Structure 1
Amino acid sequence: MIFRKTSAQFQFIWRFFRKYKALLWVGIVTLFFIDVLEVFPPLILGWTIDALTERSTPDVFLHYALIYVAVLTFQAVGRYIWRMTLVKASLLTGRDLREEIVAKIFRLPIAQLQRERAGDLVSLSTNDTEAVRMVLSGGVIVLTDAIFYFITIPVAMFWLSPKLTLLTFLPLPLIPYLVFKCEGLIRFWFEKVQENFSQMSAHAQESLAGHKLIQAFVAEEERAGQFKDLGEDYLRKSLKLARIQGFLGPSLDFVMSLSLIMLVWFVYPMIFDGALSVGVFVAFQRFVQKLIWPMEAVGLAVGFYQRSKASSGRLIKLLEQPDENEVLNLHTANESLPTKGSIEVVSQHDRSKESSNPVAIRINHLTFRYPGRHQPAIDDISFELPAGKRLAILGEIGSGKSTLLALLLKFHPVHRGQIFIADKDIVDWQTHELRNIISYVPQDVFLFKDLVSENISLSESEKSVEEAKLVKAATRARIHSEIVKMDEGYSTVLQERGSNLSGGQRQRMGIARALVKNAPLLLVDDSLSAVDYETEAAIVQEFDRFRGQTTELFVSHRVSLALRSDLVIYMHAGRISELGSPAELYKNRGRFYNLCVRQGMSPEVGSDDEVTLV
């Protein structure tokens, strides 16, 4: 009744557990063997007491003692076996579940990850997976043990005295009623507790990530008060859940205690009349006490199952979300796609086999809106960028510059025929294949709490990268001289998010990371904003040394970089306001000219590159 194969939750749980069904069956069979042996200690005790009253010889007591020791020995070995099998299966299943949940999180679309709270995802991959694992460990074990107790103990009791067995079982119909009343409440309040835990995790994560801002605005007390309110709400709901769970176990104990009271009341005269021996009474009393555990086990199993049912529902909801590739292909579901297998998926190991030649980009009447927004972020833009050329994209904040780079990275779906990279429609590119030919430096460079070398070599699948390759990339990014001054050089462990580095150092670390990848297409999203003009000029000069080997797209608010580009696009309200070489746009005296004047710069020479406006 508790576990039904027809339920989605049970099918979800069993999908992970069946991989280790061999361990499961060994553990269950061993557990049954132990529960069969549980019948003998009360019987041996009863026989011993009757032997005492009959003044039997010492050999009889020795015989019973040896049997008792043998039973306990076999039980000890059996308990070790089922713990090593069932608990091991549970831990392995929990590992598999966590790996699948984390892998699913990484496959979610970028847009959905941005909408999700980090605390919810942390709770799903920790608390919820642990709740499901516990039903495979504690839940299965205690329920199986309870079932076997109900199979073996009543049989032994009926063998001793059918009349007393029926008398003892009179209060038992109360048990299903109590279990039914409590299981729904346990599931309801556990869902509330998990939701509240997610809110606490999200609040803590946001507070830790923004601790500098909180301190700068002296908002520590306000944030601490908000967390305190969440914590008190969590405590209130947890206590409510604990009261319900705490009520179920003692209630079942009370029912079994009623059976024991009835047993004593009716057996007392039978012993004095000689209709029942003291040994049988003691054995029967021990059997009734042993039935208290399966009653508690039923309550524990219900609690484990209801918690796992709530958590598995949340996990199933996550796993049913479409993957990034499914979302990206949604817009082209009714369009002609290449046959399966016609596009080779390129792993990081195979990147070295790819052509390192720069790639051309063509944008054809591209329009894009973020979900839930009426105003397009990109509004009917078109241009071509030949392979090996440099494009600088300028414009006001919110004009669509970063969105364009996100679309080139296939972070959001577009329609067929709007973006072409290397003469292939972006819809036909496999996501990993496309991103393997792109080096990307985001606006906010993220650094892990890891070695400097590991942060720079993030794009490499090998465990280690040649030091010369790291030094070359760091030197081109003008960060090498500052790395070698650190305590351990490239082996220095950065603090979380690289908080022990300046904003300019983090940006240059991100540029070095992109240079190590050395992909045919380089996308840089305003990642020189935190460096001074002298350092920026030195970095751009390094890029100029390898001009033509990589197709480059730079988003920037500084015209110094744009003046060294082959093509400049000035965006305004999601549209291309101006497009051409730096000299051409400067002569037109439009928005680009005004920006140059404000920053006190102008092109020294013109440029007539192969750039066409479609």
Structure 2
Amino acid sequence: MPDTTKVADADRSAVRSLLRLWPYVRPVRTRVSVAAGVAIVASCTGLLIPLVLKWIVDGPVADRDPAGVWFGGGLLLALGFGEAALFGLRRWLVARPLAGVEAAMRADLYRHLQRLPVSFHDRWASGQLLSRGTTDLMLLRMFLAFPLTFLLVNGVTILVGFAILLAQEWTLGLILLGPVLPLVVLCSTFERKFSLAARKAQDQVGDLTTVVEESVLGIRVIKGFGRHRSQARAFHDLAHRLRGTELHKARLLAGIWALIMALPELAIGVALIVGTTQVADGELSAGTLVGFLSTALALRWPVESIGFLLAISNEAATAADRYFEVMDEPEADAGDAALVPSPRAAGPAGGDAGLRFHDVTFTFPDADSPTLEGIDLHIRSGETMALVGATGSGKTALTALVPRLHELTAGRITLDGHDIQDMTRDELRTLVAVAFEEPTLFSATAGENVLMGADLEGAAGDEALRRALDVAQAGFVDDLPEGAGTQVGEQGLSLSGGQRQRLALARAIVGRPRFLVLDDPLSALDVHTEALVEAALRQVLAETTALVVAHRPSTVLLADRVALLSGGRITAVGTHEELLHGNDEYRRLMSGAEPRKELAR
């Protein structure tokens, strides 16, 4: 995963980070603006209450007018109800659009993750991505719903309130303005420190999510090897570090909040003493002092909330940074929209018919040396080529290049003469189907998992599903409680390894692909089932051009020819019999005497 600490330490601006949310907020800007306007009116309505109090004290109370007091009391009650109603209206106005903003951001993140290259997912922990799609988006929604509005509302309220204070008694107003400069300095320092702590905490949440996810998915391994104590320690250590960071955030917030509350309270106390003296000397009316102090007290919440609002805003800014770190990653499909023509529109280009590797080199992003180098291999149209090699020779990397799960470092791969780099991934995936050695199933029905391999519905989908299940010898599906409609559970762990592999094979062949790439698709099958699958698979391979990674002689015999991959290079190509009699390394591999090699990626 990238070093997120550098992002937190870099020169950054919370405002710039939050401004990147504008494209999502723009569609609902009218309703959000109206809600902010309503909140400003509501807050300023509250500032009218001290003025009414001043009038009551200097008027009806001083004149001993009960009717005037009752009228003033009713006016105060009406202002209170009006303020509450306006704040309720504001909440109603923003609830639906901001929920839509969060949903749109989550949908964009999910779509973007699906289009990012495999190399990105190799680098990033899944827990970090999950936390960005859940916790971080929740923080952004909270910011848009509350701090975004109330930083503006409270700012306007403070300005209007101080204008009222200065208009009532400017000498007392200047006393209350005294803490402004210290508060600005304190808030600036707080913002810088809190943003670092917030970023650290959010990254730690992602790490903790990763541990929880891995523990749940790997529960069988943990229980099988009795590693629950070590996993619990790992979880405890991460949780303890997160707890320490959250406590640090709490201390920062407590400190700023204490100062923000103490300094204005001190100024109000001084103003109260000075104002009382002025009333005693006859320089100030009692009603003016009551109105002044009531206005000052009404401004307590807008002032005291600054620390709380800044904290949420900084957490939202770091959440925005984390969200856009992923969204800024270039998509693997970024240039697909402009690519033409479709490979289906043109026929094979002479001798290049089939699948061909032209001097292909591939290096993993974080590797020092190439995994594959100078690969020249031609699988003729309708031919099945077995790919054989020792552990770590690069077989899986080679098969991943055909559907562009990884991008070439150098060279070309062509399908019927057409460079795969000139095809959109949508076109490429309609031509090429893949079955991996480690089958992945989703929390869906058995039938839905298989039909992921083809865009088929209705009767055509049912027919293709049945054919694929028959070829893959996946008749066990019929014995499931609801047949093909049975939910197989997360990762398909309710099925055996062989059953998952047969469903993955059925998924690869259900769409009758023109090119088929199989990465040791029969490794988890028993001998009897393997023989049945091989017999049915011969029919499929006769109709397609296939590259099959093979470790067993029985799988190799499915192929027309065999390519030997050694040290990232193709060192021999021929029939099984030719290589068996003419190549010592191939003979050792087929006899099971594979030399020990360093485990590959």
Same fold (TM over 0.5): yes
1:343 is aligned to 341
1:612 is aligned to none
* Contact 1:567/1:579 (<8 A) preserved: yes
Give identity over the alignment, percent: 24
CA distance in 2, matches of 1:159, 1:461: 73
CA distance in 2, matches of 1:5, 1:505: 53
CA distance in 2, matches of 1:592, 1:477: 28
1:171 equivalent to 2:179? Answer yes
SS at match of 2:20: helix
1:472 equivalent to 2:472? Answer no
Offset from partner CA, 1:556-598 (integer Å, 9 cap, x none): 2111122132122222222223312234334436444455556
1:582 equivalent to 2:582? Answer no
CA distance in 1, matches of 2:485, 2:412: 44
2:62 is aligned to 54
2:437 is aligned to 443
1:350 is aligned to none
Please report how far the alpha carbon of residue 375 of structure 1 lies from its aligned counterpart in structure 2 after TM superposition: 4.0
CA distance 1:380–1:172, shift in 2 (3 Å) = closer
CA distance in 1, matches of 2:347, 2:507: 20
1:539 equivalent to 2:541? Answer no
Letter in 1 for 2:341: I
1:252 is aligned to 260
Of residues 28, 35, 40 in structure 2, which corresponds to 1:27?
A: 35
* Contact 2:38/2:86 (<8 A) preserved: yes
List gaps (5 residues or longer) in structure 2.
1-11, 594-601
Letter in 2 for 1:473: A
1:610 is aligned to none
Please report how far the alpha carbon of residue 242 of structure 1 lies from its aligned counterpart in structure 2 after TM superposition: 0.8
Please report how far the alpha carbon of residue 534 of structure 1 lies from its aligned counterpart in structure 2 after TM superposition: 1.9
Of residues 280, 293, 301 in structure 1, which corresponds to 2:288?
A: 280
Please report how far the alpha carbon of residue 460 of structure 1 lies from its aligned counterpart in structure 2 after TM superposition: 4.3
Moved more, 181-190 or 277-286: 277-286
CA distance in 2, matches of 1:464, 1:291: 66
Please report how far the alpha carbon of residue 438 of structure 1 lies from its aligned counterpart in structure 2 after TM superposition: 1.4
CA distance 1:61–1:187, shift in 2 (3 Å) = same
Moved more, 524-533 or 247-256: 247-256
1:608 is aligned to none
CA distance in 2, matches of 1:455, 1:225: 36
Letter in 2 for 1:522: L
CA distance 1:339–1:260, shift in 2 (3 Å) = closer
CA distance 1:125–1:578, shift in 2 (3 Å) = same
Q: How does 1:197-208 map to 2 (within 5 A)?
A: 197-208=205-216
Q: How does 1:340-489 map to 2 (within 5 A)?
A: 340-344=338-342, 360-414=354-408, 418-460=412-454, 466-480=461-475, 482-489=476-483
CA distance in 2, matches of 1:541, 1:151: 83
RMSD: 2.9
CA distance in 1, matches of 2:532, 2:141: 55
2:547 is aligned to 553
Of residues 72, 92, 104 in structure 2, which corresponds to 1:84?
A: 92
SS at match of 1:576: strand
Offset from partner CA, 1:21-40 (integer Å, 9 cap, x none): 11121112212221221122
2:103 is aligned to 95
1:566 equivalent to 2:564? Answer no
Letter in 1 for 2:31: L
CA distance in 2, matches of 1:468, 1:424: 31
CA distance in 2, matches of 1:59, 1:339: 77
SS at match of 1:571: strand
CA distance in 1, matches of 2:512, 2:97: 44
1:135 is aligned to 143
CA distance 1:24–1:261, shift in 2 (3 Å) = same
SS at match of 1:364: strand
Please report how far the alpha carbon of residue 255 of structure 1 lies from its aligned counterpart in structure 2 after TM superposition: 1.4
Please report how far the alpha carbon of residue 540 of structure 1 lies from its aligned counterpart in structure 2 after TM superposition: 1.9
2:5 is aligned to none
Offset from partner CA, 1:324-350 (integer Å, 9 cap, x none): 246xx8xxxxxxxx994533599xxxx
CA distance 1:280–1:445, shift in 2 (3 Å) = same
Offset from partner CA, 1:99-144 (integer Å, 9 cap, x none): 2333332222211211211222222222333333333222212201
2:515 is aligned to 521
Letter in 1 for 2:517: L
SS at match of 2:562: strand
CA distance 1:345–1:320, shift in 2 (3 Å) = farther
Please report how far the alpha carbon of residue 411 of structure 1 lies from its aligned counterpart in structure 2 after TM superposition: 1.9
Moved more, 586-595 or 316-325: 586-595
Letter in 2 for 1:457: L
> Aligned pair count?
578
CA distance in 2, matches of 1:300, 1:462: 53
Please report how far the alpha carbon of residue 473 of structure 1 lies from its aligned counterpart in structure 2 after TM superposition: 1.6
Q: How does 1:5-24 map to 2 (within 5 A)?
A: 8-24=16-32
Please report how far the alpha carbon of residue 359 of structure 1 lies from its aligned counterpart in structure 2 after TM superposition: 6.8
CA distance in 2, matches of 1:361, 1:85: 58
* Contact 2:14/2:317 (<8 A) preserved: no
Letter in 1 for 2:44: V
CA distance 1:57–1:174, shift in 2 (3 Å) = same
Please report how far the alpha carbon of residue 464 of structure 1 lies from its aligned counterpart in structure 2 after TM superposition: 6.8
Letter in 1 for 2:553: V
SS at match of 1:324: coil
Of residues 261, 266, 274 in structure 2, which corresponds to 1:266?
A: 274
Please report how far the alpha carbon of residue 509 of structure 1 lies from its aligned counterpart in structure 2 after TM superposition: 0.9
List gaps (5 residues or longer) in structure 1.
330-337, 347-352, 600-614
Please report how far the alpha carbon of residue 49 of structure 1 lies from its aligned counterpart in structure 2 after TM superposition: 3.5
SS at match of 1:39: helix
CA distance 1:6–1:306, shift in 2 (3 Å) = closer
Of residues 37, 50, 68 in structure 1, which corresponds to 2:45?
A: 37
Please report how far the alpha carbon of residue 152 of structure 1 lies from its aligned counterpart in structure 2 after TM superposition: 2.0
Of residues 64, 75, 80 in structure 1, which corresponds to 2:72?
A: 64
CA distance in 2, matches of 1:58, 1:7: 53
Please report how far the alpha carbon of residue 504 of structure 1 lies from its aligned counterpart in structure 2 after TM superposition: 0.3
Letter in 1 for 2:298: K
* Contact 2:35/2:91 (<8 A) preserved: yes
CA distance in 2, matches of 1:354, 1:345: 6
Of residues 266, 282, 289 in structure 1, which corresponds to 2:297?
A: 289
Please report how far the alpha carbon of residue 448 of structure 1 lies from its aligned counterpart in structure 2 after TM superposition: 1.3
CA distance in 1, matches of 2:48, 2:411: 79
Please report how far the alpha carbon of residue 56 of structure 1 lies from its aligned counterpart in structure 2 after TM superposition: 4.4
SS at match of 2:85: helix
CA distance in 2, matches of 1:62, 1:508: 84
Letter in 2 for 1:432: D
1:349 is aligned to none
Please report how far the alpha carbon of residue 289 of structure 1 lies from its aligned counterpart in structure 2 after TM superposition: 1.0
Q: How does 1:206-225 map to 2 (within 5 A)?
A: 206-225=214-233
Letter in 2 for 1:268: T
